[in-house]
Amino acid sequence: MAKIGINIATGSLQQSEMIVGIDLGTTNSLVAIIHPESKKPIALKEHDSSSLVPSVVHFDALENAIVGELAKTFLETDPANTIFSAKRLMGKSYNDIKQNASFFTYKVIDNNDDSLVKVQVGQQFYSPIDLSSFILKELKSRAEHILKTPVTKAVITVPAYFNDAQRQATRDAGKLAGLDVLRIVNEPTAAALAYGLGLEKDADKTIAVYDLGGGTFDISILKITNGIFEVLSTNGDTYLGGDDFDRAIVKYWMNEIGMADTDLQASKELSQGLRLRAEEAKKHLSIHDVFSVDFNGDKLSITKNTFEELIQPFIEKTLKCCVNALQDAGLKATDIETVVMVGGSTRVPAVKNAVSSLFNQPVHDEVNPDEVVALGAAVQADILAGNNKEFLLLDITPLSLGIETMGGLMDVLIPRNSKIPTKVGRQYTTQKDGQSGMRIAVYQGERDLVKDNRKLAEFNLSGIPGMPAGLPKVEVSFLINADGILMVTAKELRSGIEQSIEVKPQYGLTDAEVERMLLESITHAKDDIAIRALVEARTEGEQILDVTEKFLVKNGSLVTKEEMMATAQAMQALQLALTMDNKNLIQTKIEELNEITRPFAERAMDAAVGEALKGKNI
């Protein structure tokens, strides 16, 4: 494995080039760097504007993407074309989010299956990766404008609970925005780094990071040993934050001035106006005791005491999550040595006091809570740039390692720049009924199609017992030991059959080749991701055709003649679309077929439930 220092020698990290830290947030995003002279992290902003870029993407009539403050102004006036909270959709299927579907005021495609969600705006379909890439592009160009130099390398933060798919989606979004994502860092880890925690040598510490933003709450318990961060537990509520405080104030005022819900529903200006005044009141009450304002002839006022009473239930909820997180980590509140506050809503004194009394100590709130994660990402970026000598000798993987999946796609198991030793496992399944073997082809590189990467090894897991497609569970695990040897194992979990192979990923690979492979992944990012999206749409289309066909054979009696005709036509149209290189067309045809089959799929479900009930004595 390469040392980070060797990476610098390849020229892939030019010392003059700035590596930025990016906090890609649910509500707001921002970019930070280590100031070349002061060596301190700073958030980038244009003159006296805010460093925060609202994570909102608006599509205008020509389907141009507008990001940030301007996009935010369309949230209420043009909700169908204005996408917020795309981060909540990262790496998710519709089934994952359907309980909260009403939260999204734009069209999230309901395909009732486990493929990744898409958002429809006009005739275009966007993945959460596309949407996040628009935000990252905006941050990149903002940084370039301020720094007056190209920015191509970044560290991006994600919540500690993000799974592999969500982390990969974030990497892809970066790549699509023209950024080489050197590392994905957990948000609580970044916040700790911004406070200098984990930077002192030999300091073992257990810390809590309390993150209350606009719409989400996270608590993470971390253990830091010799500069290595381990997440002991996480807890939280993905629909709890400062927005709830604003709504509580709005409700209180409506009650005071005798306004009904229907008045609010009738006027967007009225509801938006009230919400904005409520947020203003909340911020004012973080430093003053009373707030009042004239609004449409009414005097709206609220005291700090009333506000604190209103938000007490929300604060209690967060404390409960903290207790659960401590329990999961097997710790008591008194075991926590440091508490770090993150997110704009931790500016509320009642929140600070509650957290401080739970952990029985003063909390760290000196760094701007909106910026602290991005600042920490910049600290991590600086370490990767080799500017922090203490951390220079960490062993890392210089290129990503993965296997080939359907359509010749590269599925990364160990992303580049991962620390070694490391072990990662992921489950796969068969595509065909009765399939008895599975080819495992191991590749190295950053491109989306395996044909553009470097093949390391291939073997066959044979002897899988005959099962319907999708039923076998094949766990592929990658283990890199401290010497950099990669061991790939494939195991079918139901039958226990297993096969493995050992490779030396760096064997015969020069530094110049590593650099070339990295460069190519950036120059081809756009095409690569477009091809990946096309291959994924095709795979989804093929699967849907397959499922529909099987369904008709089994449940033909439940379908009317007209429905049968319409289905056949839609299937034909999809089949034709699959032969063309047009992802949007394939997705449109999938959606049309789904529209037609949804009612009889539901009928079949009802029939099945009826059958099951018939045989039972209730």
Residues 468-497 close enough to bind ligand AMP by CB under 6 A: none
CA distance 149 to 336: 42
Give yes or no for residue 137 binding ligand AMP (CB under 6 A).
Answer: no
**CB closer to ligand AMP out of 245 and 359:** 245
CB of 281 to ligand AMP, least distance (A): 10
**CB closer to ligand AMP out of 21 and 214:** 214
Of the candidate residues 153, 282, 416, 491, the single one contacting ligand AMP (CB under 6 A):
282
- For 434, which DSSP code? T
Contacts of 503 (CB under 8 A, 6+ apart): 442, 456, 457, 485, 486, 488
Give yes or no for residue 348 binding ligand AMP (CB under 6 A).
Answer: yes
Residues 284-303 close enough to bind ligand AMP by CB under 6 A: 286
Give yes or no for residue 27 binding ligand AMP (CB under 6 A).
Answer: yes
Query: Phi and psi dihedrals of 566, rounded to 5?
Result: -60, -40
Give yes or no for residue 524 binding ligand AMP (CB under 6 A).
Answer: no
CA distance 225 to 189: 12
Contacts with ligand AMP by CB under 6 A: the residue count is: 18
**CB closer to ligand AMP out of 364 and 491:** 364
Active site residue 200: no
From the list 195, 208, 215, 159, the residue with the least C-alpha distance to 369 is 195
CB of 215 to ligand AMP, least distance (A): 7
Contacts of 24 (CB under 8 A, 6+ apart): 55, 87, 132, 135, 136, 156, 157, 158, 170, 173
Of the candidate residues 68, 159, 174, 214, the single one contacting ligand AMP (CB under 6 A):
214
Report the b/e string of 149-159 with b at 16+ CB within 10 A: eebbbbbbbbb
CB of 177 to ligand AMP, least distance (A): 21
**Catalytic residue (one of 130, 138, 180, 211):** 211
Tally of CB atoms within 10 A around 274: 24
Tally of CB atoms within 10 A around 227: 17
Give yes or no for residue 29 binding ligand AMP (CB under 6 A).
Answer: no
Query: Phi and psi dihedrals of 82, rounded to 5?
Result: -130, 115
Active site residue 187: yes
**Region from 156-164, 340-348, 542-550, 561-569 binding ligand AMP, contact rule CB under 6 A:** 340-348
Summarize the chain as % helix, strand, coil (round to 5). Answer: 45, 25, 30
CA distance 564 to 574: 15
Binding mask 85-124 for ligand AMP (x = CB under 6 A): ----------------------------------------
Binding mask 353-372 for ligand AMP (x = CB under 6 A): -----------------x--
User: In terms of DSSP bridges, do strands 82-84 and 65-67 run parallel, antiparallel, or are they unpaired?
Assistant: unpaired
From the list 151, 90, 178, the residue with the least C-alpha distance to 525 is 178
CB of 353 to ligand AMP, least distance (A): 14
Active site residues: 23, 87, 187, 211
Residues that bind ligand AMP (CB under 6 A): 25, 27-28, 213-214, 241-243, 279, 282-283, 286, 343-345, 347-348, 370
